[in-house]
Structure 1
Amino acid sequence: MRDRRVAEAAGRRGERLAGWWLRLKGWQILDRRVRTPAGEVDLVAKRGDLIAFVEVKTRATAAELDFAIDERRLARVAAAAEILMPRYATNGEDIRVDVILLAPGARPRHIENAWIG
């Protein structure tokens, strides 16, 4: 149980860091941890006429980041984004699914348009 709590705290910390990092890049954070029947979206961000549904993955080492995201997880985020699109993309904005990978001592890795389904 303790391991789960530690992982949960690390995940929340990673989501906060990713939100700060996106804001520094000119994004506005619209929402955090949005649950849908298809899955959860960690961050919903907007810049200009683009809405990004962002999956954040935090790992203990930079080497682990290469294995942090897979097609199954991305498909779940994309399905959740499809459900959420009418709520956030109200003015015909473009949407995409992004991934931000975080590890101590490593620069955040932002994978834009990670899901091409």
Structure 2
Amino acid sequence: MTSRRIEAERQGRRGETFAMVWLRLAGWRVLARRQRVGAGEVDLIVRRGRMVAFVEVKWRATAADRDLAIDARRLQRVARAAEVLAPRYVRDGDDMRIDVLLLAPGRWPRHITNAWQP
């Protein structure tokens, strides 16, 4: 692994940690972090009441890069992973959705709720 890739991995983990704190302050309970399945990966799985959100976290160096960090292909991978993981975390009567949390230094997080609608 190159040093650039290692640093990107470290920054991604810091971003996920920041996202967990931010979501907790917003009333969410973190159920899991970095859940990998054959279909893909979900960065965070959180619950608030009867809502379970599968959250993709993206950290970028600038606000402009942050706003371009997610696309349909990446969201589809998260959605496929969420489909596999849902039976572990979603109970009868719960709602679920795919959220995206976009982060950049010196900016408020941009939380996109229900980002994936097939």
Instruction: Report the TM-score, using the length of structure 1 for normalisation.
Output: 0.98
Question: Which residue of 2 is the match for residue 74 of structure 1?
Answer: 75
After TM superposition, the score normalised by the length of structure 2 is 0.97
2:72 & 2:99 partners in 1: Cα distance?
13
1:112 aligns with 2:113: yes
Deviation at 1:66, TM superposition (A): 1.7
Report the equivalent of 1:51.
Answer: 52
Q: Indicate the percent of aligned positions where both proteins have the same amino acid.
A: 62
* Aligned partner letter, 2:94: E
User: Runs of 5+ in structure 2 lacking a partner?
Assistant: none
Match of 1:3 in 2: 4
SS of 2:35's equivalent?
Answer: strand
> Shift of residue 110 of structure 1?
0.3
What stretches of structure 1 move > 3 A for 4+ residues in a row? Answer: none
Deviation at 1:65, TM superposition (A): 1.3
Letter in 2 for 1:45: V
Counting matched residue pairs gives: 117
Q: Which runs of 5+ in 1 are unaligned?
A: none
